[in-house]
Structure 1
Amino acid sequence: MKKTHIFGLIVIAIAVAILVSTGTEASTYTDFADAEVKAKSGDVNQVHVVGKLKKSASGDIEDLIYNPAIDANHLEFTLTDNKGRSQKVVYNAPKPQDLGKAEQIVIIGNMEGQVFKCEKILLKCPSKYQDGNAEFKEVEKPAKQS
């Protein structure tokens, strides 16, 4: 075999390895019931759940627990997915600034028991899609400081 053929095969093998490794870590869109089934079956891949916050008639978020004086990196709220199931969500990072303004929320994480442990929050604010172009504002946990 020529050296160019061997080099080509090595490049193809590396490309396939990269595709396989990134493909297995990709998360999927689902609802809370499916996320719970996946967690109980031992699936550790993260999932995306789309939903809306429970709000009172005055527009305040119901079931929101956030007290920065006690722990600024602990937020709990109830999210209702697109199939109508409400679920407690725990986000161990500061509260996103526009959480109360969000029309819809995408949370990324896993079910752990009866709680959805959220790693990332995407907010869909109404002011950003008035012209029909929906935009999500990504909110990530800040990097842990040593």
Structure 2
Amino acid sequence: MKTSHIIGIVVIAIAISMIIVAAGDASQYVSFDEAFAKAENGNNQNVHVVGKLKKDSNGKYTGMEYRPHIDPNLFKFILVDNKGNSVKVTYHSPKPNDFERAEQVVVVGKVQGNEFVASKILMKCPSKYEDGKVETIEAESKKKI
């Protein structure tokens, strides 16, 4: 075989292995019921859960806990998924800006105990520049070394 053929085969093998690794790390969109079921079965992969912030009968948000003077890297809130399940979500980073303005929230993370621990929060907020369009804001946890 020519050297160029061997190099081509090696490049293709590396590309295929990268695709397999990336596909294995991809997480799924699920409800809280499915996320808890996966955790009970020992599946510890990240999942996406879509929902809205919990409101009381007056339209005010309930269940939000953020005390930056005590721990600025601890934010807890209640998220109601698309099936109506309410679960407490813990996020070990500061509360994202304009969090209360979010029309819809996507949390990425894992079930731990009886709560969902988010590593990333994605928010769909109404755009302040154009009526009727939605902008996406992403808040990622910062890795501490």
Task: Determine if the alignment matches structure 1 residue 14 to structure 2 residue 14.
Answer: yes
Aligned to 1:113: 113
Would the aligned equivalents of 1:60 and 1:100 in 2 still touch at CA under 8 Å?
Answer: no
| Displacement after TM superposition at 1:113 (Å) | 1.5
**Per-residue deviation at 1:57?**
4.5
TM-score in terms of structure 1 length: 0.91
Higher strand share: 2
Measured after TM superposition, the shift of residue 65 of structure 1 is 1.0
Q: State the distance in 2 between where 1:130 and 1:22 align.
A: 37
Contact 1:32 1:87 in 2 (8 A): yes
| 1:1-146 aligned within 5 A | 1-127=1-127, 130-131=131-132, 133-144=133-144
* Residue 142 of structure 1: how far off its partner (Å): 2.8
How many residues matched? 144
Seq. identity, %: 46
After superposition, the CA RMSD in angstroms is 1.6
Residue by residue over 1:4-26, the C-alpha shift from the partner in whole angstroms, topping out at 9 and shown as x without a partner, is: 11111101100011001111001
Cα deviation per residue 1:91-143 (whole Å; 9 max; x = unaligned)? 11101111111111000001112100000001111236743x43310011134
CA offset digits 1:39-87 (Å, max 9, x no partner): 1112121001000001235543201111111111111111000000000
Q: Secondary structure at the match of 2:127?
A: helix
Unaligned runs of 5+ in 2: none
- Structure 1 CA distance for aligned equivalents of residues 126 and 57 of structure 2: 18
1:44 partner amino acid:
N
Aligned residue for 1:76, secondary structure, equals strand
Q: 5+ unaligned residues in a row in structure 1: which ranges?
A: none
Q: TM-score, normalised by structure 2?
A: 0.92
For residues 57 and 100 of structure 2, the distance between their equivalents in structure 1, rounded to whole angstroms, comes to 13
8 Å CA contact 2:127–2:134 kept in 1: the answer is: no
Distance 1:72 1:12 in 2: 46
